[in-house]
Structure 1
Amino acid sequence: MMELSKLMRDLKVILYGDSETEPVAEACAQLTQEFFRENALRLLITRLPELNLETRKNATQVVANLQRQQVQSRLIACDYLENNVDLMDVLITGYENTDMALHYGAMSRECIRHQSVAKYVLESERMKKFFDYIQLPNFDIASDAAATFKELLTRHKSTVSEFLSKNYEWFFAEYNSKLLESTNYITRRQAIKLLGDILLDRSNSTVMIRYVSSRDNLRILMNLLRESSKSIQIEAFHVFKLFVANQNKPPDIVGILVTNRSKLLRLFADFKTEKEDEQFEADKAQVVKKISVLEPKERQ
């Protein structure tokens, strides 16, 4: 074990350098080639629980660095993972092991830098597990799972857009009930912020229109607008304004906005950000104006 710890430190120095030396490109390329040729990644991931804490940390940094190393202009880590995608199952389910979760989580985020690997995770059954991992009682592990979840849903635009379109029903049903309506304040705050990031991304415009055409989604957002937490209110507003801005609002959405008009206008009258924010004030003025002139629509 001592020998292994020393070797892991040596690998780390080759890839990162140390106080005296900078990493050498040829040595990094050679190490990367040998590492993946010898199946060392599989060995390291599957045997990580047997290593001591310092060696685990070094191994995590080595794996992270190797994801970015190019050999003859190719990311060979990506090629390797495409042929060994089951390793992602090991990494993601690592959240169920308190001792391994943070090491495996850090490795996962580096591996999903590769689009094909992220696509595999998004389309796997493991994706559903994140809704539970984000709510684990251990704060550090829950936060780490939330960071990986966010990375999966924001890094590769076209893959994310395709995933959300294909899996809209179950994904947003889980997202709403387990995250936006969670009893945990931090879970709600992270979830509403991420929802805004997802829906405001142009590549998800079709999904956004579908989301803001649902009365159940509007009900959840209006509840979040009434939260005592300022940061949740502000993030909820950024999503709520999309319901109001939708040019083709369904009659039941218009009905809810008209019914609650006076409450909403009262709420927005005192609605301010901590620091002055011209864009926020402009958006708020626009929302107030649109709600003020809404007329009920006849149902088709």
Structure 2
Amino acid sequence: MNSLPGISLPDAGRPTLLRHAPPGWQPYIQLARLDRPIGWWLLLLPCWWASLLASNSLHVAPNFWHLGLFLIGAVAMRGAGTTYNDFLDRDIDAKVERTRNRPLAANRISPRAAALFLAAQIGVGLAVLLCFNRFTIVLAPVSLLIVAVYPLMKRVTFWPQAVLGLAFAFGALVGWAAETGSLARPAVLLYAGGIAWTIGYDTIYALQDMEDDLIAGVKSTALRFGGHVRQGVGLFYALAFALIGAALYAAGAAHGAALLGWLCLGVHFAWQVWHLDPADGGVALKLFRSNRDAGLIFAASLAVQALL
């Protein structure tokens, strides 16, 4: 399939990467969402949170080698997940304005080429995984089962965001396991908080597609909440804030810089809810992307506390 140079999707960031990439690479960049890094950031942050929280609990310095491995793994596995998602959703994507120019939906790349690209990305993720301890190597692949069913959930339930949360927040378990070789209450609480956080921010993201989703028969929490979407997002953000705070307390890290970072995270959640306008897709996209900054602030606070 021939690619069309310079096609930028509506919710992509600055098209710098696409503009400078060879035309033949562009469909693969878009399949892996490398032109939209917010996805791998949101997959990475629970890994960083958990790794740094474990460092605080163990009273050791952050494991920067592991933090770097999580970065590589998040980019690779986010790309694998979106490639798989686009492979299954290519017919639905063709009916939705925001997604109709995706490489598979627009026939700019063949399903076979996409499958080979998927295998290559999984290979990178596997290479990263083998750098961790045995418990983590056994634990992490469980998330692939969740990833496998996620693209199908929007066809059968108004809660696909909850399934996405199970997958995206799984790094909270993996990050803790990588540092401790086991799971404990702080990791489980952080995982639950990450699920609630994901439901909140992905509901905001889904506001962009409500009209098209109705036409295509796709379900989402944005449609389920309807006119109460602000209250729904606020409820899940409040739950995320409480559970993440409980994880801090359980790990013995509810003080100093970590506590301040948690409070800043809560303020950011409140700011998002306050500015949410269900009728404005542009605002929804801006608020959704801002979760990277909120997550980085909390991660930085955990790193500072561990170093201190």
Q: What is the TM-score when the length of structure 1 is the normalising length?
A: 0.28
